[in-house]
Amino acid sequence: MTRRSFLSTLTALVAAPAAAPAAATGPTQIAPLELSDAEWRARLTPEQYAVLRREGTERPFTSPLNAEKRTGTYHCAGCDLALFTSAMKFDSGTGWPSFFTMLPGAIKTRTDFKLIIPRTEYHCARCGGHHGHVFNDGPAPTGKRYCNNGVALNFLPEEA
Ligand SMILES: [Zn+2]
């Protein structure tokens, strides 16, 4: 290898990584968290595991978060990703904590055919943990109702 070709190779190697990240990452890019089933069982309470990893549904009117009115953020109990803020919460009267929108990129949806009528299931964008279903009978401005299992959330009150 001549000195000239060595230098041009070196230049190419140095230049390449700088060009790559612009296309690969954006502001809402969230790196996935993947754990084994045993790791999830160790990390979560049995109630959290049943909802987050097995798409269970908690009994209505059982979550203390139904009555939570403080300012703060609601985080995924599986991976601590912030999903909702208190400003997005409303009292739906259904017995589950309900939100009319979510933080950008925090959740992903898919169609669930478990019941006769298809529902839109949603889950945490980072750990894939099941949180609830979204319905089209929510309040303005979105008209959406994210019906969330309270056990799948941790509430962090804002520091006063
Ligand atoms: Zn999560």
Spell out which residues have Cβ within 5 A of ligand 1, the ion.
76, 78-79, 81, 124, 126-127, 129
Q: Is 76 marked active-site?
A: no
Q: What tokens were used for 86?
A: 């208190």
- pLDDT tens figures, 8-40: 554 444 444 444 344 444 456 789 999 999 999
User: How far apart are alpha carbons 87 and 150 in whole angstroms?
Assistant: 17
Q: Is 112 buried (19+), middle (13-18) or exposed (0-12) by CB count in 10 A? A: middle
User: How far apart are alpha carbons 42 and 14 in whole angstroms?
Assistant: 43
User: How far apart are alpha carbons 61 and 93 in whole angstroms?
Assistant: 9
Cα torsion through 58, 87, 111, 118, rounded to 10: 70
pTM above 0.85, yes or no: no
Q: What is the pLDDT of residue 105?
A: 95
